[in-house]
A and B are shown apart, each in its own frame.
Chain A
Amino acid sequence: MRSAQLSTSPVELVDPSLEEEHDLDKPWIVIVWNDPINLMVYVTFVLRKVFGFSESKAHKLMLDVHEKGRAVVSSGDRTEAERDVHRLHSHGLWATMEQED
């Protein structure tokens, strides 16, 4: 992710503050939120289809979404997280991404 965002050219190199550098390294997590519309079986189905999860893993994550209100379904760099969020959005799931604390 850093190599994709920061130029290697000395002329253009941005010297990030330590905090920003730390932020760039922090992984992004993708969260699916509970909502009253999507059927539970549909959420399980989408998690299996998008991520290739086993039935038991997808079912457990779906129950976390339903009972705890949210579940972290994937993590990675910003590009990977955005791709996952987009795939979940294309299936109508309520998904967001944020950097891990």
Chain B
Amino acid sequence: MFHRSLIKLRADGTYIHSFPAHIMETISIMAGQLDAVLDEDLPELRRLHPTAYSQDAEKDAGYQILARDQLTDGRRAAIDTVQGTADQDQLTDEEINCWIRVINDLRLVLGTRLDVSEDDENSLLRDLDPEATEAEQAEFELRQMYDVLGSVQWEMVEAMMKGLPDS
């Protein structure tokens, strides 16, 4: 989607980015929408609470009781950071980590709702069928948002990986 790197690690360890303001704002708004439903038992949220014990339902139930609140609290903290930094072009290492995590959660929810598969073509590389119904148009727009989130996340992850020590 982007032709040049839009985020860079600076010598002082912070990151400077030039992602379009409307994209950062949209992600922040979507993060708020996710925050509002995090406690609900919606089918599209199932990927946020994966099974831990694949072969033992009883042990998994115990894990879910302990893990669910912790995972939700962690998500809320990251969402708070995203909402508080959406209008900044300079972000700390910790803040970028929050953006990457929140974007991933949004992709997990959207991807589940859209039922994406590995063979799906990137929607940013194709046009909407001019004869698409309203429902198809809405799904296409959701799919485009999903792919935009992927592009932003890809850029952020690439920038952060450059800052990781190659142990």
Contact = CB atoms under 8 A, between A and B. Distances in A.
B100 A42 contact: yes
Nearest to A90: B74
In terms of DSSP, what is the predominant structure of the interface of chain A? mixed
A10 interface: no
Interface of B: 47-55, 63, 67, 70-71, 74, 100-101, 104-105, 107-108, 111-112, 116-118, 120, 150, 153-154, 157-158, 160-161, 164, 166-167
A32 B150 CA distance: 20
Given A36-B117, A41-B154, A48-B164, 5 more contacts: A45-B157, A55-B166, A92-B48, A92-B101, A96-B52
A75 to B, nearest CB: 15
Interface in A28-48: 31, 35-39, 41-42, 44-45, 48
Contacts, number: 84
Contacts of A60: none
Interface residues of A, number: 28
A39 B150 contact: yes
Interface stretch (A1-9, A11-19, A81-89): A81-89
B157 A42 contact: yes
21 contacts: A35-B47, A36-B116, A36-B117, A38-B108, A41-B157, A41-B158, A45-B157, A53-B167, A82-B63, A85-B52, A86-B70, A89-B52, A89-B67, A92-B47, A92-B101, A92-B104, A92-B105, A96-B53, A97-B53, A98-B53, A98-B54
A52 B165 CA distance: 9
Given A41-B157, A86-B67, A94 B101 contact: no
Contact of B47 (A55, A91, A94): A94
Contacts of A52: 167
A59 to B, nearest CB: 10
Contacts of B101: 90-92
Nearest to A31: B54
**What are the nearest 4 A-B pairs in CB distance?**
A37-B111, A96-B54, A36-B118, A92-B104
Nearest to B104: A92
